Amino acid sequence: NAGVTQTPKFQVLKTGQSMTLQCAQDMNHNSMYWYRQDPGMGLRLIYYSASEGTTDKGEVPNGYNVSRLNKREFSLRLESAAPSQTSVYFCASSGSFGQYFGPGTRLTVT
């Protein structure tokens, strides 16, 4: 039982490049989330998916797109990366007792 897994763990992009962050959970949770964490800002919600086939914007959705591929997988895409998107990205899924987080992806955009 791996919980929530994310790939890659680290990534460096040049401004304008695109990439997709992958997330998968094996806890059979309906809801999944993408957050970004910046120093002094705590965790901010980018997008979430309450169930397979649905997605909704969070607090900071601009510059991102998401896909809920199936119940297990929820991916985050940066179409044209900008330095302001340098951050640590966390995926989470929600069960009865709260949200459970993956180990994070550290993204640097130069």
Residues in contact with another protein by CB under 8 A are 4, 31, 33, 40-45, 48, 50, 56, 58, 90, 92, 94, 97-104
Whole-number minimum distance, CB 60 to another protein, in Å?
12
Whole-number minimum distance, CB 104 to another protein, in Å?
5
Whole-number minimum distance, CB 34 to another protein, in Å?
10
CA 67/CA 69 separation, integer angstroms: 6
Q: Which of residues 17 and 75 has its CB atom nearest to another protein in the complex?
A: 75
Q: Which of residues 14 and 28 has its CB atom nearest to another protein in the complex?
A: 28
